[in-house]
């Protein structure tokens, strides 16, 4: 009997050992699954948070720079920024009325869609800016500039069109009296198509060399300066929306020039362009 009892004890001990091994294994597997599920849960939470931020950023309304009206700036005598001759319904501006700044009541509006990466835009300004400024100083026209970003693909991934238009918005917002000086400087420092566009530091240097105070605060967001506006691309979404609006308005290329809303092909002939403008004002018959 003692022998049989000893055999039973061994079998019981073996079964208990097997049970404990199985229990320990099950516990390890449960712990591993818990860690796995917790890890998956953390990843899901992080992914959802990132997606949420992206959706928020995508749906967040664009910050609009001050002194832009209908996604452009209007220039009158002595390169002063003014309100358009006809203010769009629902928009307001603290800028002076064009007629108060020297524009005649029957002045024409010359609208120029431009891209700071566009060689044709640079050529247009070099050929026509003197004539347009003369007519603006005489009160015959106001010039409506609309920067767009059609040529981001031409700066080797640098998105120079968007970033330079953003810089323009930063300056127009904070120092509107320097807007045209900056436009001229950006054309003078225009990178060649197909090369990498200017870095943020280089863009800020272009601005400083044009007399811009890059530490000046924005009016649209007083917590930002021109410098942070450039590095944060504060007005990037505004630029994107303005560019899409231009496409929606059937703008096919840059420079794209309108005289009182009518497209003109006379962009490379200053004399022909001036004649067409003067016809629009009634100063030249024909």
CA 151 to centroid of chain Cα atoms? 13
Q: What is the pTM of this model?
A: 0.80
- Range 73-281 classified under CATH 3.40.50.300: no
Kind of pairing, strands 141-147 and 108-114?
Answer: parallel
pLDDT tens for 213-253 read 999 999 999 999 999 999 999 999 999 999 999 999 999 99
Query: Predicted confidence band at 179 (pLDDT cuts at 50, 70, 90)?
Result: very high
**Residue 216 · residue 175 · CB < 8 Å:** yes
The residue whose two tokens read 């049989």 is 4
Residue ranges of the domains in the chain? 1-60, 73-281
């Amino acid at each position: 009997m003692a022998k049989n009892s000893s055999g039973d004890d061994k079998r019981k001990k073996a079964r208990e050992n097997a049970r404990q091994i199985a229990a320990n294994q099950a516990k390890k597997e449960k712990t591993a699954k818990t860690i796995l599920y917790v890890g998956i849960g953390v990843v899901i939470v992080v992914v959802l948070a990132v997606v949420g931020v992206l959706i928020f950023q995508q749906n967040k309304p664009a910050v609009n720079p001050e002194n832009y009206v209908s996604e452009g700036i209007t220039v009158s005598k002595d390169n002063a920024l003014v309100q358009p001759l006809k203010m769009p319904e629902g928009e307001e501006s603290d800028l002076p009325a064009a007629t108060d700044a020297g524009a005649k009541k029957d002045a024409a509006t010359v609208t120029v869609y431009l891209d700071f990466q566009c060689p044709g835009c640079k050529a247009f300004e070099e050929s026509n800016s003197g004539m347009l400024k003369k007519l603006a100083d005489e009160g015959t026209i106001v010039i409506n500039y609309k920067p767009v970003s059609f040529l981001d693909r031409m700066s080797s991934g640098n998105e120079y069109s968007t970033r330079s238009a953003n810089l323009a918005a930063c300056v127009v917002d904070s120092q509107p009296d320097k807007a045209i000086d900056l436009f001229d400087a950006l054309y003078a420092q225009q990178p060649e198509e197909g090369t990498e566009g200017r870095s943020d530091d280089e863009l800020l240097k272009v601005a400083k060399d044009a007399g811009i105070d890059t530490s000046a605060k924005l009016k649209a967001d007083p917590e930002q300066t021109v410098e942070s506006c450039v590095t944060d691309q504060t007005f990037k979404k505004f630029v994107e929306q303005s560019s899409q609006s231009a496409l929606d308005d059937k703008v096919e290329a840059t420079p794209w020039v309108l005289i009182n809303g009518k497209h003109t092909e006379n962009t490379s002939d200053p004399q022909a362009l001036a004649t067409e403008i003067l016809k629009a004002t009634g100063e030249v018959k024909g």
